[in-house]
Amino acid sequence: MFKKSTICPSCKTIGKLHKSHSRGIIERIINHTYIWGLFRCHNCGWRGVLLRKNTLKISFSGLLKTILTLAIVYYIVVYFIKNYTN
């Protein structure tokens, strides 16, 4: 059985995905959540965010870090929306 992160969502090829490097601060934050990861397909060139293979084996500290990171990102986005939009 194949895990979610080994099947390309675009071309449905099995086993052609590999980890992709982060481009920018938002992607770095996503990559450090321990739940989602950035992937690229060798076959079709698709690049995006998918669940990692070991998502179910996440530790309590990893889950806490993920929740904290998402909360910080949420408050930063809300701050910018309130202060820099009309």
% residues pLDDT > 90 (the chain): 14
pLDDT, averaged across the chain:
78
Could you tell me the strand order of the sheet in which 17-19 lies? 17-19, 36-41, 47-51
The burial class, CB within 10 Å (0-12 / 13-18 / 19+), for 35 is middle
- pLDDT at residue 2 in the model: 43
One digit per residue, the tens of pLDDT, for the chain of length 86 reads 345 557 888 888 887 787 787 788 877 777 776 677 788 888 888 888 887 765 555 567 777 888 898 999 999 999 999 998 76
Does the pTM of the predicted model rise above 0.85? Answer: no
pLDDT in tens, 48-70: 888 776 555 556 777 788 889 89
